[in-house]
A and B are shown apart, each in its own frame.
Chain A
Amino acid sequence: MGDDWRKRKRSKMSAIQLNHLKFHYTQGPLVLDIPELKIEQSEKVFIHGPSGTGKSTFLNLVSGILSPSQGDLLVLNQNLANLSAGARDQFRGKNIGYIFQSFNLIPYLTIKDNILLGQHFRKSDFNIEHRADQLAKDLNISAHYNKKATQLSLGQQQRVACARALIQKPQLVIADEPTSSLDDKNTIEFMNLLIKEWEELKFTLVFVSHDLTLARYFDRTIALEEINKVVSI
């Protein structure tokens, strides 16, 4: 597994590739109209933009929850439009790690159960518990391993979310404003740990935030309003 990313790099396939993508919610106005975008494997991309410009919508498209109204969207070289809804769910569970802004954890589950949440919907992997232990150590949350999610501070909760997103060694990690509810100290700690994990796993990282100071952690910065032709108010 360790040299997976190198193989990926060699194959030169892109992580996300879209062509003339248009999207609107049913009976809603056009939210996204992106002529072209390409994100390479193992690239760390920072996406920013005012709220309401469709950042989350874009992430929902990439993770196969929503389907484009027009145009092509390839994720990890897979045209999601060619997959059934169930196959898209499986694809997401296997290949994509997702971190939300807040409420990342199921309150009545322990930290361990939260990290392993995806196992309920994925093929089981007998090494996974060991890996959960390891991730908890890496992310400084192993002391709380068997506590309920509600007993943790926000900073700790976001690190648990990070562990949950990384547990299945996804090729793509999506973070939708994961630091918006954190203070500076926790934000820095979160970013450092995330980048440290990236160093090890070299997943493609798509990170959305409106905090431009975070751009320095990334290879590339994209302003959504620049690539999106839909003019928002």
Chain B
Amino acid sequence: MISLILKSFRHRWVTSMVCLLSIALSTGLFLGIQQIRNSARESFTDAVSKADLLVGARGGSLPLLLYSIFHLGQPINNISYSTFEDIEKHPAISWAIPYSLGDSYHGHRVVGTSNALFEHYHFRGDNKISLKAGNYFSRPDEVVIGSVVAKKQKLKVGDPIILTHGVSSEGIFQHDQTPFKISGILNSTATPLDKALFITLQGMELLHEGWESGVPPEEQTQLSEEEMNRLRPNQITSFLIGLKSRMMVLRFKGMIDQYKNEPLTATIPALGLQELWNTVGYVESALSLISLCVLAVGLMGIFIALYSSLQERRREMALFRAVGAGTFHIFLMLIGEAFFLVFMGLIFGLALNYLALYLINTWFIDEFSLFLSLKAPGTSEFIFIGSTLISGVLAGTIPAIKAYRQSLQDGLTVQL
């Protein structure tokens, strides 16, 4: 009987395909949104862990988080280095990682920081930054690069590179004057770190030495190592801190928010991300709603397709009955067809979902250096699949009941 349903399906393939595709589309869309949301959240959340507070100039905590950790967007205001030094000294602080942003190398962010980054930055739980080759920087004119940068720009330890002022990929001014040397290449972390270059805060100053007027200095500035070490950073963009005790977080945050010398903002990274999810949540809900509408169209399509085929099927049903089919068989055949349509729709939808995720993933890695993990369908997916199947069978029930009644009435003689 299943082969009979398949052949009947082939016969009515145009309408069947429309139903099938709309179910596939909605399944793909719905599951895709869920999966992208979950794994995007996961990978965003995984990008930084074990950090208690992120501190920057007074402003929104989400932008602060986005440009400091995810290298998205531009910092607007800096904070003075002395503020950093002052807070860093506080006895409650276990570690602090400064960030000085604003430069780029072929579109990759250049991050001015300190060795604290390599020592204390955690991601995906317990993971720490590690070297694939070379050493961490020990001089202001040394640079450590992320794995993606190394791969894309075909760089290796010892190569000299020229860093650019500004963050566009074609820097307006090239810092031709100060070539940096690659001291180390990091292992891949699957976080935005992979796409960044790291120099010391002094290195950052070195980069801008003589730029006080806003344009490149006219004469070549060649500093001796001694002169370099004497450079003192003026400003940084933000800093990440880990406290000795988690219990201190809120009190410390309050303290920083009321810091006297300079207006500051402190944010708990996880809470900052929550703000992001709230913003993105509207889009997600809208897309989910759209996909549910597409699903409803598909289910209604099945209902209409089956219902409107009943008249033309009356002779078929009489034939089935003549060769021994009962009215219950007729009922089952229609239910079976609805089930088959939904089932195939779901299979195609799942395939579509994973294909789309695969494609989006490549783009996502490129754009954010975040990986979406392709997961097997989980509970919420199975709930969706299950309820879609049930709805499909329900959509087939009314036509099936009608067919049952019809074949009971027609028997073997169809009067048209």
Contact = CB atoms under 8 A, between A and B. Distances in A.
B172 interface: no
Given A56-B413, A120-B4, A121-B1, A98 B11 contact: no
Contact of A65 (B4, B7, B8, B321): B321
A129 to B, nearest CB: 14
Interface stretch (A86-94, A197-205, A219-227): A86-94
Contacts of B324: 89-90, 92-94, 118, 121-122
Contacts of A90: 324
Contacts of A65: 321, 411-412
- Which has the most chain B C-beta neighbours within 10 Å: A60, A66, A103, A120? A120
Given A65-B412, A66-B411, A121-B1, A98 B326 contact: no
B326 A89 contact: yes
- Which has the most chain A C-beta neighbours within 10 Å: B326, B328, B329? B326
A100 B326 contact: no
Contact of B323 (A60, A85, A107, A117): A117
A90 B328 CA distance: 12
Interface residues of A, number: 31
B8 A108 contact: yes
Interface in B318-375: 318-329
A60 B326 contact: no
Contacts of A107: 11
Contacts of A121: 1, 320, 323-326, 329
Given A56-B412, A63-B412, A66-B411, A118 B323 contact: yes
Nearest to B329: A121
Nearest to B12: A108
A59 B327 CA distance: 18
A104 interface: yes
Contact of B411 (A60, A86, A93): A60
Interface of B: 1, 3-4, 7-8, 10-11, 315-316, 318-329, 411-414
Lowest 10 A-B CB distances belong to which pairs?
Answer: A93-B324, A118-B323, A108-B11, A89-B326, A65-B411, A98-B322, A121-B324, A103-B315, A56-B413, A60-B411
Given A86-B326, A120-B325, A121-B324, 14 more contacts: A57-B413, A63-B412, A89-B325, A89-B326, A93-B325, A98-B322, A100-B412, A108-B11, A118-B324, A120-B320, A121-B320, A121-B323, A121-B325, A176-B413
